[in-house]
Amino acid sequence: MSSKSKPAIDPFYLSADKFFQAAAPTALTYDDVSLATLYSAVLPRQTRLDTSLSDRLSLSLPIISADMDTVTEARMAIAMALQGGLGMIHYNMTQAEQVREVERVKNHIHGLIQDPAKVHPNQTIAEVLKIIEDNHYSFRTFPVVNEKGVLVGLLSGRVVKERYRNHTVAEAMTPRKDVFTIAQKALKKDPIGAADKFFNEHLGINKLLVVDNADRLCGLFTLSDIERLSDEARADRKPSRDADFHLRCGAALAIPRKSDGQIDKDNFAAHLGALSAIGCDAVALSTAHGHTAGVGDAVRFARKLFKDMTLIAGNVTSGAGVEYLADCGADAVKVGQGPGSICTTRVVAGVGVPQLTALYLASKGAAKKGVRIIADGGITKSGDIVKALTLADAVMLGGLLGGCREAPGDIMEINGKFYKQYRGMGSMAAMKAGSAARYGHDVKTAQTTGPAKIAAEGVEALKELSGSVVDVLTQLAGGVQSGMGYLG
Ligand code: XMP
């Protein structure tokens, strides 16, 4: 439409460049802005949400779970990857523990129960009934293994009954020779495909056990799980998987320093090496201030050692910050200082740029250098994601996911309502647990002399239980598609 035909409203339909420049030096955040719509030729369901964090790492959902100790451990990262997003494992744990968490995600095969409940041949049916009751199991069929973990039979739910209570498992079970198994090495790249094929060829069989070379039990497929997965596979959003069919997973790193402040290069290289060896898909050097010599040096060092690793660095709030980290070798840069729901950086240190303007400035640097940017913090609803994605390649969520069942931490009941703890990584409690370095404080001071010596830049909160990651992400993705439909 020509500008002449709509002179009265045209000033309201500005490109990002004109809009943010007109508002300068006032900076804006999500709630200050609404996206204006014009003619659209697409329906929400026709829109696509795929994105990439580097030339080597694509996602079908532009959502990343925050590297916070009340948001992302293996369980959250598995749920995020299954929905097409990515989980960043936090670093308030030892390096070995973090590597194990990443490994759990990489080795997770959805639909394969990797450590199924099992029974011993010498147990009685009465004991099995007790196990079911104590653990609230909804199933009654158990693989039977001896003390070496070797499969000796399958106890069918048909015989796990009161009337057989005095029999032993060995007497009641289907013997090994009649149990259907598949060799672990036969699963290869497509375990679900292999299980699906088996169930198609064996009508009426609903359990398939996985064994290793020594006939030790290492997994269990059930027909109902595989059927559910086939339905999911037809959905538009594909799980995030690497070339070997493993789920994708990221990890955040604190930059280890010696007592003189220099990067502890041996320690850093060993941690990066351990993550790379198990196929960690992205490493984030997460700090409160990424536009610094220290973070730049660390990114350069990591890039030199691991040329193909997807490196995320941050956080910054300027185009110059993005350009600096891009020049150092980052593939993606996290943007946001203080917008987070549990952040007090702006109050404590008096710094930060309202998030939408920060994203605009960052997007200019990203366009110059050909890197991606991630909008980190301050997102409280799907509309914020739509606004963020007009400038950024992906968003990182803390608070919106902190109330999910898959987030670490226990569920608390207060006055009949259910909550989970959610805390800033710069909160006293989190810094004592290890994240002080992220805020430029000395970890040892935080752990020994305690909170009095350091300034907290985050608070602790409770999040009302918000169901599962699938529920939350389905709502958010639907909202984003709706926004994209409006915007054409
Ligand atoms: P949301 O708003 O999603 O924000 O809860 C999550 C992001 O907040 C950042 N973060 C902090 N920022 N003090 C801060 O200033 C903190 O204690 C803190 N903890 C987390 C982080 O970028 C995260 O992804």
pLDDT band at residue 445 under the 50/70/90 scheme: low
| pLDDT at position 105 over 60 | yes
pLDDT of 238 reads 85
List CB contacts of 92: < 8 A, sequence separation 6 or more.
69, 425, 430, 433, 434, 435
Query: Is-above-0.75 flag for pTM?
Result: yes
Q: At what angle do helices 382-389 and 469-487 cross, to 10 degrees?
A: 50
Rama region for 247: left / alpha / beta (φ>0; ψ in -120 to 50; rest): beta
Give per-residue pLDDT as tens, 137-148: 888 999 999 999
Three-state DSSP at 470 gives helix
Q: Quick one: pLDDT at residue 87?
A: 98
336 CB under 6 A from ligand 1? yes
pLDDT value at residue 1: 40
CA of residue 415 to ligand 1 center, whole Å:
28
Distance 423 CA to ligand 1 centre (A): 9
* CA angle in degrees (0–180, nearest 5) for 205-145-118: 70
Q: Ligand 1, atom 7: nearest CA belongs to which residue?
A: 377
Tens digits of per-residue pLDDT, 351-406? 999 999 999 999 999 999 999 999 999 999 999 999 999 999 999 999 999 999 99
Instruction: From the CA of 380, give the closest atom in ligand 1.
Output: 2
The mean of the pLDDT values for the chain is 91
Which one of 18-32, 228-242, 433-447 scores highest in mean pLDDT? 18-32
Looking at residue 112, its pLDDT comes to 84
Indicate which residue's Cα is closest to atom 24 of ligand 1: 66
Q: How many CB atoms lie within 10 A of CB 218?
A: 17
The answer to whether residue 22 scores a pLDDT higher than 90 is yes
**Predicted confidence band at 3 (pLDDT cuts at 50, 70, 90)?**
very low
pLDDT over 60 at 195, yes or no: yes
Q: Is 74 helix (H, G, I), strand (E, B) or coil?
A: helix
pLDDT of the residue at 114: 80
Query: What count of other Cβ atoms lies within 10 Å of the Cβ of residue 257?
Result: 17
Give tens-digit pLDDT for 398-416. Answer: 999 999 999 998 888 899 9
Which residue stretches of 166-209 are H helix?
169-172, 191-201
Residue nearest to atom 18 of ligand 1 (CA): 424
